[in-house]
Structure 1
Amino acid sequence: MGAPSGRGSAAVPIRKLAMDLSPALPIRLLIVDDDPQIRAMLAEYLATFGMEAEGAEGGTAMRAAMSKQEYDLVILDLSLPGENGLTLCREIRESSNLPVIMLTARAELADRVVGLEVGADDYVTKPFEMRELVARIHTVLRRSRADVRRPAPAAPGHEVRFAAWRLNTTLRQLVDAEDTVVPLSNAEFRLLLTFIEHPNRVLDREMLINTARGRDLDVFDRSIDLLVSRLRQKLRDDPRDSALIRTVRGEGYVFTGTVEH
């Protein structure tokens, strides 16, 4: 398993990011990695930026820590023995919108795609500069907190309805016809909200990347296609006979559901 690069000294621009992000409250992180040296090294370095980091060696320790403490973000190693990072990321995403940055020892596109597919908000390839990880933590947290502050298209607490679905844009809950809440990741919620705000309009991939994914770092066309596929699965919308999200070949996607506020 690769280790972080030791060349990551504190940089002034990143310290400014830390001050701008939350000068009053410390950022609480959970580092899930089976290597105790990496956990200790990351926790010590991140503490210089006012972050409180705890370590967990695997899935069992991660669940125990999360049952006792609330965290702002999870740093999750992909190559864990037993329950790997993909399994744990999927588990986190099924029950919460807690941001996840995945650490991977490989740089192949397949690893990045699968990580995004199961709901990771970002990924960092080992070995990495410590400064890069700090910057990505702030980027993910800024995006996550911006989602919370983003004005909803309807009054607070009001549900937007389409087909047999209801989306509460304040609680960020998607509810089906049987009143079952279907968990959405941050990216899935942003994408669905973007579609709802622009019904019956063809939205190209660039527009969806910029508004739904909310970042310009390391994005690629395939990632937005995977995100649409995940959202379709949540909405039980068969792409071969779509009733909600239709593919427009060579252009992008169009949301065809009737939206009621």
Structure 2
Amino acid sequence: MDTTNSKILIVEDDSAIAEIERDYLEINGYEVEIVDNGPAGIQRGGSGEFNLILLDVMLPGADGFAVCRKLRETVDIPILMVTARQEDIDKVRGLGLGADDYIVKPFSPGELVARVKANLAQYERLRSRSGGASAVNSELKVGQITIRPQSRRVYVRDEELSLKNKEYELLLFLVEHVDMVLSKETLYEKIWGYDAVGDSATVAVHINRLREKIEDNPGDPKVIQTVWGAGYRLKA
């Protein structure tokens, strides 16, 4: 799927890094705009003009976590958090606020472009898939979970849930593969579209977020089960 000509917002206060990111993305056909602080990231990111936001964690005015939280109130485009910290807690915090993926500095230009392409392509696949659902397959049901792909609506015990893009796509994939054990690597490749060793932190955080929304007791999950040493399974 061709995602070139997409418009990307870089929110980064280090001008040297931002310019490198911009140059490599523009070489690959993307239109890029740079802002260098949190408030500007919120203002421009929420404008509806962009297809993806590359969001640094450490920013003046408001850090990346605050920016991500605010943006998720109004936009559903992919948000990639950029962090120089290695601790998983930063990655988990970013994903918990609604980020779709993260990338750790220092990263190669090739990795940056690959992540951007993968997230844009996956987002477009999700939109196309939802918009093109046939009437025959307009509703999927497993236990107390009902998914209507045509409208991207999810219900648990007849109550509608509010899910972020990756949460929705992950749950849809699990429902379509009910009772199958799916490894973290498989889920990462299928949902995030990035052909690399599965990122256990990313997958685990999104699984936990889903459990908080659909399980009676997220600490003792009965619907999305962990199969130790193998992955996860949605129980029918």
Give the TM-score normalised by structure 2: 0.78
What is the Cα deviation at residue 99 of structure 1? 1.0
- Does residue 183 (structure 1) correspond to residue 163 (structure 2)? The answer is yes
Secondary structure of the corresponding residue to residue 182 of structure 2: strand
Q: Which residue of 2 aligns with 1:167?
A: 147
- Does residue 21 (structure 1) correspond to residue 21 (structure 2)? The answer is no
Using the TM superposition, name which of 51-60 and 143-152 deviates more: 143-152
What letter corresponds to residue 171 of structure 1 in structure 2? S
User: Contact 1:201 / 1:254 at 8 angstroms: preserved in 2?
Assistant: yes
What is the Cα deviation at residue 196 of structure 1? 1.0
Query: Aligned partners of 2:26, 2:140: CA distance in 1, in Å?
Result: 42
Matches within 5 A, 1:1-261: 21-22=2-3, 26-93=5-72, 95-150=74-129, 155-156=134-135, 158-162=138-142, 165-175=145-155, 180-186=160-166, 188-257=167-236
What letter corresponds to residue 121 of structure 2 in structure 1? R
Distance 1:204 1:69, change over 3 A: closer
What is the Cα deviation at residue 73 of structure 1? 0.6
Query: Aligned partners of 1:256, 1:153: CA distance in 2, in Å?
Result: 27
Distance 1:108 1:218, change over 3 A: farther
User: Contact 2:184 / 2:199 at 8 angstroms: preserved in 1?
Assistant: no
Uncovered stretches (5+) of structure 2, i.e. residues with no partner: none
Query: Aligned partners of 1:234, 1:95: CA distance in 2, in Å?
Result: 20
What letter corresponds to residue 155 of structure 1 in structure 2? S
Q: Which residue of 2 aligns with 1:8?
A: none
What is the Cα deviation at residue 212 of structure 1? 3.5
Distance 1:224 1:133, change over 3 A: closer
User: Contact 2:119 / 2:192 at 8 angstroms: preserved in 1?
Assistant: no
User: Contact 2:12 / 2:35 at 8 angstroms: preserved in 1?
Assistant: yes
What is the Cα deviation at residue 163 of structure 1? 5.0
Distance 1:65 1:54, change over 3 A: same
What letter corresponds to residue 134 of structure 2 in structure 1? A
Find the structure with the greater CA-based Rg: 1
What letter corresponds to residue 182 of structure 1 in structure 2? S
Distance 1:48 1:197, change over 3 A: closer
Give the TM-score normalised by structure 1: 0.72
Using the TM superposition, name which of 136-145 and 90-99 deviates more: 90-99
Distance 1:152 1:248, change over 3 A: farther
Query: Aligned partners of 2:180, 2:107: CA distance in 1, in Å?
Result: 41
Q: Which residue of 2 aligns with 1:13?
A: none
Query: Aligned partners of 1:91, 1:50: CA distance in 2, in Å?
Result: 28
Deviations 1:197-249 (A, max 9, x none): 12233434344333344333353334322221111112244234434223334
Query: Aligned partners of 2:131, 2:223: CA distance in 1, in Å?
Result: 21
User: Contact 1:94 / 1:183 at 8 angstroms: preserved in 2?
Assistant: no
Distance 1:54 1:120, change over 3 A: same
What is the Cα deviation at residue 87 of structure 1? 2.9
Secondary structure of the corresponding residue to residue 54 of structure 2: strand
Uncovered stretches (5+) of structure 1, i.e. residues with no partner: 1-19
Aligned pairs, number? 235
Query: Aligned partners of 1:134, 1:120: CA distance in 2, in Å?
Result: 17
Using the TM superposition, name which of 209-218 and 48-57 deviates more: 209-218
